[in-house]
Amino acid sequence: MSVNLFDLTGKIALVTGGVHGLGMAMAKGLGNAGATLVINNNTSDTLEKALEEYKAEDLHAHGYVFDVTDDTAVEEAIAKIEAEVGPIDILVNNAGIIKRTPIVEMETKDFELVVKVDLVGPFIVSKYVAKNMIKRGGGKIINICSMMSELGRDSVSAYAAAKGGLKMLTRSMATEWAKYNIQTNGIGPGYFATSQTAPIRVDGHPFNEFIIGRTPAARWGNPEDLQGAAIFLSSKASDFVNGHVVYVDGGILATIGKPSNEN
C-alpha cells in the first residue's frame, strides 16, 4: 500500500498572522494538502476578509482573534480552538512585525515591541500548544524565521535580534520536545514578491537590481515558493527532522555574491 508522506488530511493547522502575504500563502499550501486551517489575527476586520478569501478557494478555515503576546489571551484561545475545532496538530508561528530605524534613533519601547511580537509571541503560543501536543504524543511546530536570523542589515536591529533569537528558540524547543514526538523547525524566507515590496520591485530601482543580482536564482521569490517547505515540515515526511531552519531564499545565504560588474 502506497503512503502519501505529504498528505495533511485530518490535520488541524494553526497559522498565526495568516491573513495576508507569506503567512496566507503557507496556510493555503497546508489547506490544499488537506489540513483544516485555524487562522489568527489581532483584529477582526482583517481576519474576516482573509476568511472570505480562503472560502473562495474552497479551503476549510476558522478564524480566531487574539494577541500572540498576551499570555492569558493565548491560553484561553488555544483551549477554545481545541474545544471548538479540534486538537492542533500543526502550529505555524508566522505573526510578526518590523520597524526600520537606526539603532541610535530607536526608542527602547519600539525595540522591545518587535522582540515581544517576533520572539516572545512564538514562545507563548508554542508553550500552550505544545502542552497539549505532549499529552497526545506528537505534533509539528514551524517558526517563521528570516535571513536576518543569520545576517545583519542596517536599521533592522530589533527584527534581526528577534529572528536570531527565534532560530535558537527553535533549537531549544526541538531539544526539549523531540522525545515527545514533536518536530520543531523553522522556515527562513528570502526576499519575496508581496504587496509590501511592490514599490521597489520595478526595473531600474536600486534595491530591485541589488536583490536580483545578489540572489543566485536571479529573481524575487513568489509566496507560493514557501508552500513546499511548509507542507514538508508539517507532514510525516519530516518525522525525523528537528531543530533546523529551511532557508527559502533562492540561494542568497549560500554565496557572498559577486561584483556588480561581473557577468
41-64 pLDDT tens trace: 999 999 999 999 999 999 999 999
Mean pLDDT of 236-245: 99
Reported as type and span, the H/E element at residue 263 is: none
Taking the C-alpha atoms of residue 36 and residue 31, their distance in angstroms, rounded to an integer, is 6
pLDDT tier at 263 (50, 70, 90 boundaries)?
low
**Whole-angstrom Cα distance, residue 81 to residue 38?**
8
- Asked whether 182 and 141 are in contact (CB, 8 A), the reply is yes
DSSP 117-169: IIIIHHHHHHHHHHHHHHHHT-EEEEEE--GGGT---TT-HHHHHHHHHHHHH
Contacts of 237 (CB under 8 A, 6+ apart): 5, 6
Q: How many residues does the chain have?
A: 263
DSSP H or E segment with residue 231: helix 227-234
pLDDT in tens, 71-99: 999 999 999 999 999 999 999 999 999 99
Is 262 a residue whose pLDDT tops 90?
Answer: no
**What's the pLDDT at 195?**
87
Domain boundaries, the chain: 12-192+222-251
Rounded-to-integer distance, Cα 198 and Cα 182, Å: 37
Give bridge partners of residue 175 from the DSSP assignment: none
DSSP state of 192: B
Q: Which of 66-80, 202-216, 248-262 has the highest mean pLDDT?
A: 66-80
| pLDDT value of position 260 | 64
pLDDT at 169 (0 to 100): 99
Gap between the Cα atoms of 135 and 147, Å rounded:
34
**Region 251-258 average pLDDT:** 90
- Asked if residues 165 and 119 have their Cβ atoms less than 8 Å apart, the reply is yes
Per the prediction, the chain carries an average pLDDT of 96
- Which pLDDT value is given to residue 1? 44
Q: Which cell numbers in the block locate residue 18?
A: 495568516
CB 93 within 8 A of CB 16: yes
- Give the span between the Cα atoms of 140 and 182, in whole angstroms: 6
For residue 196, the model assigns a pLDDT of: 81
Cα-flanking dihedrals φ and ψ of residue 38, to 5°? -120, 115
User: Among 40-44, 121-125, 193-197, which is the least confidently predicted range?
Assistant: 193-197
What are the E-state strand segments in 79-130?
A: 90-93
Q: Which residues are catalytic?
A: 159
Q: Which CATH homologous superfamily contains domain 12-192+222-251?
A: NAD(P)-binding Rossmann-like Domain (3.40.50.720)
